[in-house]
Amino acid sequence: MQNALSKRKEPLTDTQLLMTITICIFAVMYILAMIILQGGFLHAQQIFDLLNDNASLIIVSCGLTIVMIGGGIDISVGAVTSLVAMSCILYLNKGGNVLVAVLMAVGIGIAFGSVQGFLISYLKIQPFIVTLAGMFFARGMTTILSVNPVKVDNSKFEALRNVKIKIPFLGYVAKNGNLVPAKMELGVVIALLCIILVFILLMYNRLGRNFYAMGGNEQSALMLGINVNKTRLFSYIISGLLSGISGFVLMMHTGAGNATNALGMEMNAIASSIIGGTLLTGGVGNIIGTFFGTVTLSTIKKIVVSSGLKDPWWQSITTGGMLCFFILLQSIVLSRRQKN
């Protein structure tokens, strides 16, 4: 019996185990919410709302997961997102082209990623300090561009913003008898596309496998002939690129640029990656887990709000509690496995 169990467990790597735990907990939590709280949780629209609100967070978390798998950290992502949203809006309000705005978003992201990546990989400066400086710089630039919130005023962009994908068969019948279809924003499509691309990159691409090798053990990666510096540079460039895209998606969602946009997003993204089973030490992580981590984090917040704990502090206190639970669980599971 024990033999059979251990045999079945063997192929499961740390990455997959942590991811499976997250997915299971998310499923149990959501089903419990459906049974106990009912209300909005019974409609498919609830899931789409979660995705609509968190599309940019999902994209940012993807980038951060890559950096964390490579054994680094990038805390500039939230600030870059905010800077991209602000600069694109200012450009669009001057009658700019939407396509150029997209290029601008991507360009700013890649610029941040490559400068930070260069400093970290070639000049061997601690990633925390470099990306902290990047965060300060991006936040400062955002307020230099505009201290006051700016609303988008561009007809073409407005048209793009209002594109919503309607899924009738997942809708529900409202009280007046009309069918309300489930709505999904364009940002969600971009986010899902990013997840698929990053998944392919991490699973079936040499560069992606190099990230794991580098994060797992840098010395052995070097011995295997992997260009560690270049790989690390690329991990930060991808993270920067994804923060740029996330800035554009955030702008599509909120339709306004604000200096406090995406405030604390970097910590939310780190928390999502951790809940999804990525380890900050590197070498372990999975993009699907990160996706579920993001969704879990926002579901907890939704549950707290709809379960009647109206005081403003409960939301972050329960989030902290859940985070504590996940972190402890991971630690215990991993240490038990190591003992075996």
Partner 1 sequence: MKGKSNRISRNGLGQLTIPVIALTLLVIFNLIRDPGFFSIGITHNNYGNAVLSGNFISIINGASELAILAIGMTLVTAATKGQDISVGAAAAIAGSVFVKVLKAFSSISVGTVIFAFICSCIVAMLFGAFNGTLVSVFKIQPMIATLILYTCGRSIAYWINGGATPTVSSPVISAIGSFAPGIPIPMPVIIVIIVTAIFYLIFHFTSLELLTQAVGINQSAARLNGINTTFIKLLSFVLLGFCVSVSGCIGVSRLGLINHETLLLDVEMDAILAVAIGGNSLGGGKFKISGSILGAYVIQMLTITLYAMKVSSTDVKAYKAVVIVALVVIGSPVVKEHCRKLFQRTKTQSKGGECECRTL
Binding site for partner 1 (CB under 8 A): 73, 119, 122-126, 128-130, 132-137, 139-141, 143-144, 147, 259, 267, 270-271, 274, 279-281, 311-317, 319-321, 323-324, 327-328, 331-332, 335
Q: Is 164 helix (H, G, I), strand (E, B) or coil?
A: strand
Closer to partner 1 by Cβ: residue 8 or 124: 124
Closer to partner 1 by Cβ: residue 208 or 293: 293
Phi, psi of 96 (to 5 degrees): -75, 165
Contact by Cβ (8 Å): 322, 300: yes
Closer to partner 1 by Cβ: residue 73 or 221: 73
Nearest to 131 by CA among 267, 318, 275, 276: 267
Q: Which residue has the tokens 């992580």?
A: 285
Q: Is 70 helix (H, G, I), strand (E, B) or coil?
A: coil
Find the radius of gyration of the CA atoms of the chain: 21
Give burial (CB, 10 Å; 0-12/13-18/19+) of 151.
Answer: exposed
CB 326 to partner 1: min, Å:
10
CB 319 to partner 1: min, Å:
6
Q: Where are the alpha helices (DSSP H) in the chain?
A: 2-9, 14-36, 44-69, 77-93, 98-121, 127-145, 155-161, 186-204, 206-216, 218-223, 228-254, 265-275, 287-306, 314-339
CB 79 to partner 1: min, Å:
9
Q: Is 256 helix (H, G, I), strand (E, B) or coil?
A: strand
CB 312 to partner 1: min, Å:
7
Alpha-carbon span 34 to 241, nearest angstrom = 37
Closer to partner 1 by Cβ: residue 152 or 270: 270
Closer to partner 1 by Cβ: residue 46 or 121: 121
**Residues composing the chain:** 340
CB 136 to partner 1: min, Å:
4
CB 283 to partner 1: min, Å:
13
Closer to partner 1 by Cβ: residue 125 or 256: 125
Contact by Cβ (8 Å): 278, 286: yes
Phi, psi of 329 (to 5 degrees): -60, -45
Nearest to 79 by CA among 134, 126, 119, 118: 134
CB 200 to partner 1: min, Å:
28
Closer to partner 1 by Cβ: residue 58 or 135: 135
Closer to partner 1 by Cβ: residue 112 or 157: 112
